[in-house]
Structures are given as C-alpha cells and as structure tokens.
Structure 1
Amino acid sequence: MKISEIIKSRRSVFPAQYNKEPITKEELILLLEAANFAPTHKRTEPWRFKVLQGEAKASLGFFLAEKFKETAETFSEFKYKKIKEKPAQSAVVIAICMQRDPKGRIPEWEEVAATAMAVQNMWLTAHELKIGAYWSSPELIKHMDLFFDLAEGETCLGFFYLGKYDGILEEGSRNSSIEEKTEWL
C-alpha cells in the first residue's frame, strides 16, 4: 500500500474493538523505531515512551480509576469502570511522554509537535501492520508523575492504546475539503 493510501485509510480503533490477539515484541519495536525517525528541531528527539503490558496495564487502569474517583466533581460508577477497563482491553498501552530540552533551545510547542509526529509515525506503522491504535489524553494525565518515575522536565501527553482487531474499518471523511482550508498566494 502506498503511504498516501495508508494515511487516508488510518483510523482510530478503540480498545472495545480489540480482539485478544497479542502484539509481538517485534511489532512493538517496529512501531517504536518508526517513532524514532520523526522530524525534530535541533535534534532534541523529545519523545519518550513507556510500554505497559500484563500487570502494568491493570495497575495503570486501577490508578487512573482511583484518581478519577478522588478528583471528579461528580462521580460516575460507569465512567470509573470504563477508565479502569480501557487498559485491560488493550494488548499494549504506550504512555506518550515528552522530555523538554534542558537547554530550552526551542519553544515547548515544537517539542510537543515532534512528539505528536513520532506518534503519527507509530500510528501509520500500526495501521500498516493491522494493529488498531487510539491516542487518548484524558485530564488524568496531569497526575502521571505519581504513577511513573518521570525525569525532570518530562511530561505525559497521553496514552496510545494498541490492539489487533477484526473486520474492516469505516472509510474516512473530512468536514471540509482542503480547498476550503488553503489560500494560494
């Protein structure tokens, strides 16, 4: 498949859609290697990943659910259960983190953008491998320093849920054409 076709056919595939087929270590390494070749200004390579499998996923689900219970303005048992189960429904969860350049040579937004491009590389590679993926950035990520041992200047930007899936994904669409978003000068 051409890269343009992969880009156009990539979709978010949610944990509830995943089957129980495992993702191999070789597949995970392919995803992470693809991420490592994202563009980065001044070669700061700010992306950092924490790969959670097995019991680590259950621990993450429990931590997030309990943090939700502790901090929610209005508690919902349904949402608590959903938060707790999402990691368990996934074959792998990758915490998407960003390490700020200690020298502060470039604006933070550029490092966030580079990390997002690394995730897009992983997402496109996952799609090519028939691995479903979904990036979630819940408000609870602001508490991840209590779960992970984050380095100074490292922040968690979200979770990349991964799992194999059955069936065919829906065709994509956009709300407006590129012509409506482009000005030719």
Structure 2
Amino acid sequence: MKKIINIEEFNELIRSRRSIYPAQYSGEKVNDLIIEQMLENANWAPNHKHTEPWRFIVFTDKGLDQLGKFQSDIYQQVSKAKGSFDQAKMETLRNKPLMASHVIAIGMKRDEKQSIPVEEEISAVASAVQNMQLTASAYGVGCYWGSGGITYMKEAKNALGLEEDDKLMGFLYVGMPKEGFWPEGKRNPMNDKVNWVTG
C-alpha cells in the first residue's frame, strides 16, 4: 500500500516554490548531497515510453569558473560573427555562474528510435526540472532556471555533448538564499483558467 504523505505540507511545498536569482544568494555552499537528491528526484519525472530524455551537467567549485569562461567565449565567438557583440553582456555571462553554489546545464536528448514528438520530450525535461526545483524548495535552497545567454546557440549545444536533434534548455542556478529571503508569490484565480464539462 502506498504511504500517505502530509497533503497540507505537500500543497505548501508546491505553492511556496519560487525563482530565486543569483544576486539573492548568500554565497554559502549548498551541500552536494542536496544536489544529488535533486537529480535523483529529477530522474522520476514522467516521460513517454521511458525515454528519460533529460541530461544534466553539474558545475560547482572551480567548475563555475570554467562555465563562466565557456559562456563568455561562446557568446563572444557567435555575437562577433553576427555583429551584435555586447561587452557588458559578455562580462555578465563570465561572472554570473560565480554567484551560485552550483549551476546545472539542462539538456534534452532525443531518442529517434521511439519517434516520440519532440514536444513530449521537452515536457519530460521540464517536469524533471520542476522536480529539482521542488526538492530544492523542500531543503530551503534557491533555484533559478535561466534560458538566456548562450542557451540557443548551436555552438554551446555541441560543446556540451548534445547532437543536432538534441536541445540545450538552459541552466539551473542553485544557491542558498540570503538570510530571511523567500519571496511571496501570487497567482490569478484558478477558476479563471478552467472550464468543467459535466454532461
């Protein structure tokens, strides 16, 4: 028989999840065991035909500096070729990872043998990331899923081991929030977004 969890605590966990940005992190290191638990829970996301399309690369410690250099180098290469280089943006990409405890690159790996619509694989990865965010919230750890910067640059995807039909879906920044910081959230009423058909 399935164990019944405390439903009130479960509802509170979902409703209290927030995007907490790197500038709001305290600088305290998040225990690697929490990151491992986040990843383990990500692995239990729903996915069609058990393709498990999520792929993650975890950057921490000196790896954060490597990620910053990687991001700024890719951005510089691509933007200069397009004539859209911005020095301030490059410096942000170089330094932003250093504000986090961990940064997790989020990839979607296609399984062409299963011929599953790509939208379903993207949804599976998003579900895996939601599992990570909820796990982080349960531990009082902040997360922010960013999809700007180099996310949609082919050169970044290839450098992270993703192939032509795969997708880089952004980076999950993880850090301990500053003391006492956890923002309130708001949503419009659910009834505004639902129609019931009863017969």
Q: Using structure 2 for the length normalisation, give the TM-score.
A: 0.85
When structure 1 is superposed on structure 2, of 40-49 and 116-125 the one drifting more is 40-49
Specify whether residues 15 and 139 from structure 1 end up closer, same or farther in structure 2 by C-alpha distance, changes over 3 A only: closer
Match of 1:14 among 18, 21, 27: 21
When structure 1 is superposed on structure 2, of 28-37 and 53-62 the one drifting more is 53-62
Q: Return 5+ residue gaps in structure 1 as ranges.
A: none
1:30–1:125 contact (8 Å) kept in structure 2: yes
The alignment status of 1:165 with 2:172, answered yes or no, reads no
The alignment status of 1:82 with 2:88, answered yes or no, reads no
Q: Which has the larger radius of gyration?
A: 2
Partner Cα separation in structure 1 for residue 162 and residue 120 of structure 2:
20
Match in the other structure for 2:34: 27
Please state how far the C-alpha of 1:68 moved relative to its aligned partner. Answer: 2.3
When structure 1 is superposed on structure 2, of 129-138 and 62-71 the one drifting more is 62-71
The alignment status of 1:136 with 2:146, answered yes or no, reads yes
- Within a 5 Å distance, the mapping from 1:1-150 to structure 2 comes to 2-72=9-79, 73-138=83-148, 140-141=150-151, 142=153, 143-150=155-162
Question: Residue 173 of structure 2 aligns to which amino acid in structure 1?
Answer: Y
Please state how far the C-alpha of 1:24 moved relative to its aligned partner. Answer: 1.7
Partner Cα separation in structure 2 for residue 15 and residue 180 of structure 1:
33
Partner Cα separation in structure 1 for residue 76 and residue 98 of structure 2:
18
3-state DSSP class of the match of 1:145?
helix
Question: Residue 67 of structure 1 aligns to which amino acid in structure 2?
Answer: I
Please state how far the C-alpha of 1:80 moved relative to its aligned partner. Answer: 1.9
Partner Cα separation in structure 2 for residue 103 and residue 38 of structure 1:
20
Q: Give the CA RMSD over aligned residues.
A: 1.8
Partner Cα separation in structure 2 for residue 22 and residue 97 of structure 1:
24
3-state DSSP class of the match of 2:144?
strand
1:26-53 deviation per Cα after TM superposition (whole angstroms, max 9, x unaligned):
1111101110111111111111111111
Partner Cα separation in structure 1 for residue 99 and residue 147 of structure 2:
17
Identity %: 39
Q: Alignment length, in residue pairs?
A: 184
Partner Cα separation in structure 1 for residue 147 and residue 170 of structure 2:
4
When structure 1 is superposed on structure 2, of 5-14 and 95-104 the one drifting more is 95-104
3-state DSSP class of the match of 1:111?
helix
2:20–2:143 contact (8 Å) kept in structure 1: yes
Q: Return 5+ residue gaps in structure 2 as ranges.
A: 1-7
